[in-house]
Structure 1
Amino acid sequence: MTRQLALLGSAVCLLLSAGAACADDLPMRKAGLWELKMVRAGSPMPEMTLQHCTDETVDKEMNNNISPMAKQICSKQDIKKTATGYVNDSECTVAGVTTTSHAEFTGDFNSAYTVKTSSHAQGGVAGAAGRHATTTIEAKWLGACKPDQKPGDIVMPGGFKMNMRDADKLKNLLPK
């Protein structure tokens, strides 16, 4: 169960950065089933691939749910359109750890997109020297969601399935 919760936390972070990026300016992803592959350098976390069934409503809900949180924890949250996509620069502090990140989004959000993020965490468990990580998310549209899926469903490695709309229920499972 602890491993599933850790994977779930990673998946939520992955989807938030890939799907909504906390900005109204990013285009919505095409409705259907997306495969998201995340590779992190500078982290013990292994490569992870998951699937997310989404539609415009789910992407908007993710954005709306994250934006207020970002406003509370982030002193900087700048997103800009570029010639090749979008760039997001942010600085956020959670539990005494300040993370500065730079993300570059490329692709069309209809068939495939890539998010390359470089981040540096300072303070808290990161220690005085800090920790640097680079994350690459490669997303591709697979087609319509499977018959047993509804928008918001995430299928994690190992087949663990949950719906993003049920994320509030999981807060009770996490240690306080």
Structure 2
Amino acid sequence: MTRKLALLGSAVCLALSAGAARADDLPTRKAGLWEMKMVRTGSPMPEMTMQHCTDETVDKEMSNNVSPMAKQICSKQDIKKTATGYVSDSECSVAGVTTTSHAEITGDFNSAYTVKSTSHAQGGVAGAAGRDATTMIEAKWLGACKPDQKPGDIVMPGGFKINTRDADKLKNLLPK
């Protein structure tokens, strides 16, 4: 159960990093099944690959549902369009840990995109010295969702599945 919660926490962090921007700031991903590989350095979290079945409505809902959560925990959320994609800077606090992050998002949102982010966490479990981490998310479109999937389904390692439309369940798992 602890592993599932850790993986779910990573998914929430992924959603926050990708969804902290407003729905109209980033393009909507092509509908279908996306594979997202997340590699973190400077963190005890292992490499993780997950699949997300999405459509235009779910992508917009995800941004809109994450934004209120992000507004509650983030004192800074800036996103800017660049010549090669987007740049995002944020500062968020959860359970006594403040995390400052910078992300560069590139790709076409139809076949593949990449999110490279660096972050510094201070306080709480990060300790007095803080902790630096680098995250690389490589996402690629695989095609249509599988017959047993519906838009919003995220399949985590080990087959654990949750739907992003269950935002209330996600919020209840976050530390107060």
TM-score scaled by length of structure 2:
0.92
Aligned twin of 2:87: 87
Q: Distance in 2 between matches of 1:175 and 1:132?
A: 21
Name the count of aligned residue pairs. 175
Alignment deviations for residues 114-170 of structure 1 (CA, whole Å, 9 cap, x no partner): 000000011122121110000000000001101111000111111122211124235
AA aligned opposite 1:105: I
Identity %: 89
* Cα offset, 1:2, TM superposition: 2.1
Q: Which runs of 5+ in 1 are unaligned?
A: none
Deviates more, 1:3-12 or 1:81-90: 3-12
1:1-176 matches, within 5 Å, as 1-18=1-18, 20-23=19-22, 24-169=24-169
Q: Distance in 1 between matches of 2:109 and 2:61?
A: 17
**In 2 relative to 1, CA 59–111 (structure 1 residues): closer, same or farther, beyond 3 Å?**
same
AA aligned opposite 2:25: D
**In 2 relative to 1, CA 105–173 (structure 1 residues): closer, same or farther, beyond 3 Å?**
closer
Alignment deviations for residues 86-137 of structure 1 (CA, whole Å, 9 cap, x no partner): 0001111222211110000000011000000000011122121110000000
Q: Distance in 2 between matches of 1:45 and 1:145?
A: 27
Alignment deviations for residues 44-92 of structure 1 (CA, whole Å, 9 cap, x no partner): 1110000000011111111111112222222211100000000001111
- The alignment's C-alpha RMSD in Å is 1.8
Give the secondary structure class of the aligned counterpart of 1:165.
Answer: coil
Q: Distance in 2 between matches of 1:164 and 1:45?
A: 21
* Cα offset, 1:174, TM superposition: 7.3
Q: Distance in 2 between matches of 1:109 and 1:144?
A: 15
TM-score scaled by length of structure 1:
0.92
AA aligned opposite 2:10: S
